[in-house]
Structure 1
Amino acid sequence: YRYIYSREGMRDDLWWYLPTHRVARRPRRTRRRREPKFHRDVSILFRPDDVAHRRQFGHWEGDLMLFKQKLGQTNVTSLVERVSRFTVILKNPSRHTKPVMGKIIKAIKDLPHQARRSITFDRGSEFMNWPHLQAEIGTQTWFCDPSSPWQKGTVENTNRRARRWLPRKRDIRSMTDQDMKEISDRLNNTPRKCLGWKTPAEVFREKMLEELR
């Protein structure tokens, strides 16, 4: 084939003797240009300063906590409100984006909009269904730069705290949603120095009352 499509072979019209009679060789596969998973408009670069500097309540960070591969695909979503450090932990049967985002929607949809203004994620495939989150409950989404987990440091720090009860080697398949809530309650009822030794639950409650006045 290389000779047939070489200068000498083309001069002798050898391509005519091929079964498909192609004058030019077709590439083995044509690459399709893929649509970007995350639009430029939802980059963390466009996130307002009030969010970045914790001046406004109701902005969250979200992440996925994974476990040893031999224990199956079960994982945990961690959500943390940036001002109060209030934490919600959700169990997922897999990393498929629809059920993961569906659980997030179910967990926060009953909050007033002021308490769920936005969520910042990394660019994991489990968060690809972000347009559904915005369309369903009106919560804005922001996404970190690729390979930049430090840009959502609040939830990364919370994950380290949660690993006390959810180490990577733990088989969480038998754990219930109530078990996850109990872990969230432990985190939310622990006084934090960054909150003036108040608990995340106390600060979250105070901010909620301020927003509803």
Structure 2
Amino acid sequence: MDFEVRKVRHGGGGRRLTREREVYLQLMSQGYGNREASRIVGINPRTGKRWRNGHHSPTYGKPKPPIRSEASACDAPGRSRYLREEDRIHIADRLREKASIRQIASELGRSPSTISREIRRNSALWRSKDWVYRPHAAHRRAEQRRPRPKTGKIGQNPELRDFIQHHLSLRWSPEQICQALRTAFPDRPEMHVVHETIYQALYVQGRGELRRELTKALRTGRARRRPHRQSYKRQARAIPNMVLISDRPAEAADRAVPGHWEGDLIIGKDGKSAIGTLVERSTRYVMLAHLPLDHSAASTRDALVETVKTLPSHLRRSLTWDQGSEMAAHAGFTLATNIPVYFCNPASPWQRGSNENTNGLLRQYFPKGTDLSLHTRGHLDTVAAELNSRPRKTLGWETPAERLAKLLATAS
């Protein structure tokens, strides 16, 4: 930068160095260090440091705040969501008076955690001995951190981004990916994120940290978030000889004993095709029933019998279903398998929560509005195997297949 240092300066105290201050601020914003910027404008480096940080103990007059090129948005009059400079000065004064965090927060009308974070984030090491809170330097530091948008953690780390994208392409959930990162890189905190970070990288427009098309690999397949909606009430169906869930054995409720299953159908295009789903409550193990022709009561009964016939006797304790007409032949199913069937209350999907969650996972493979009769028995087995090989948080990050194998080994 072309700047001519004046040989003669009048007025003393730096009161006529307006041009020098402007150039100094401009140089600092361009990335120059304090010493180099001070040399260019012809001032002592200590003067530049005082301009930037403020002068807290001058030989005369009041403490001098740091100079700025323009007023900060958070210093506007009135209540602000951000701490203003006068708030930080008040914090520094009260800290010198040994006031508590809660006292300072009460005086400023802020949360104690806000004051605690402010002190922790913006304190500086004074002469390599003690941590000191300096209000003007703290305010400048906070202003420098505030500008948006910023590159997130995923965008800054190509290795982390590639790991997440690879597992999203395998249809792993963000929470499963976060746990896998902690397992694979236990001593590298730069490779650790929470699942909300992954959702933000996918959903927030303009960040570009993860490929946009990967939203199709999420459970919902949505490219943006939607609010929860209330489910529609359904009429109870007249199924003969129903036994309600209230009569189900207590051992099924606490999931301590394996062999209690939840079941349902996922329906295809125009309600003409379906796939039966079974989930074991203790291990979350998934089995799929093939319904290539229709999902009438007789077809559903036969498909379920065919699916569970390979299970050992100690894994055939009960089956919980909703009040769908496809289970009208539940008595025949019980007779063939010795598995009693219990029915949920109307409009109570949470009574089969594991099955509802699994149906959501299966919609990634069998989207709504498609013909489900096209899928073969072999394809259903492949999908079930893939789900059973995913780690689950509720199982301590074991897979359903691993948990079921342990139960079978114990029983044998």
Aligned partner of 1:182: which letter?
T
1:74–1:91 Cα contact (<8 Å) kept: no
Q: TM-score, normalised by structure 2?
A: 0.41
Which residues in structure 2 correspond to 1:29-178 (within 5 Å)?
37-39=239-241, 42-69=243-270, 73-92=272-291, 93-178=293-378
Deviates more, 1:118-127 or 1:101-110: 101-110
1:165–1:183 Cα contact (<8 Å) kept: yes
Deviation at 1:37, TM superposition (A): 1.8
Deviation at 1:50, TM superposition (A): 1.1
1:38–1:123 Cα contact (<8 Å) kept: no
Using the alignment, how far apart are the partners of 2:387 and 2:240 within structure 1? 31
Using the alignment, how far apart are the partners of 1:73 and 1:171 within structure 2? 8
Q: Which structure dedicates a bigger proportion of its chain to helix?
A: 2
Deviation at 1:90, TM superposition (A): 2.0
Q: Which structure dedicates a bigger proportion of its chain to strand?
A: 1
Using the alignment, how far apart are the partners of 1:104 and 1:160 within structure 2? 20
2:399 matched residue in structure 1: 199
Consecutive unaligned residues in structure 1, runs of 5 or more: 1-35
Aligned partner of 2:379: which letter?
D
Deviation at 1:146, TM superposition (A): 1.7
Alignment RMSD, CA only? 1.6
Deviation at 1:38, TM superposition (A): 4.0
Larger RCO, structures 1/2 (Cα 8 Å, 6+ apart): 1
Using the alignment, how far apart are the partners of 1:189 and 1:148 within structure 2? 29
Q: TM-score, normalised by structure 1?
A: 0.78
Deviations 1:130-160 (A, max 9, x none): 1011111211111101222221111000000
Asked if 1:179 is matched to 2:375, the reply is no
Using the alignment, how far apart are the partners of 1:116 and 1:180 within structure 2? 21
Pairs aligned (count): 175
Consecutive unaligned residues in structure 2, runs of 5 or more: 1-237
Deviation at 1:75, TM superposition (A): 0.6
- Larger Rg: 1 or 2? 2
Residue identity over aligned pairs, in percent, reads 34
Aligned partner of 1:110: which letter?
T
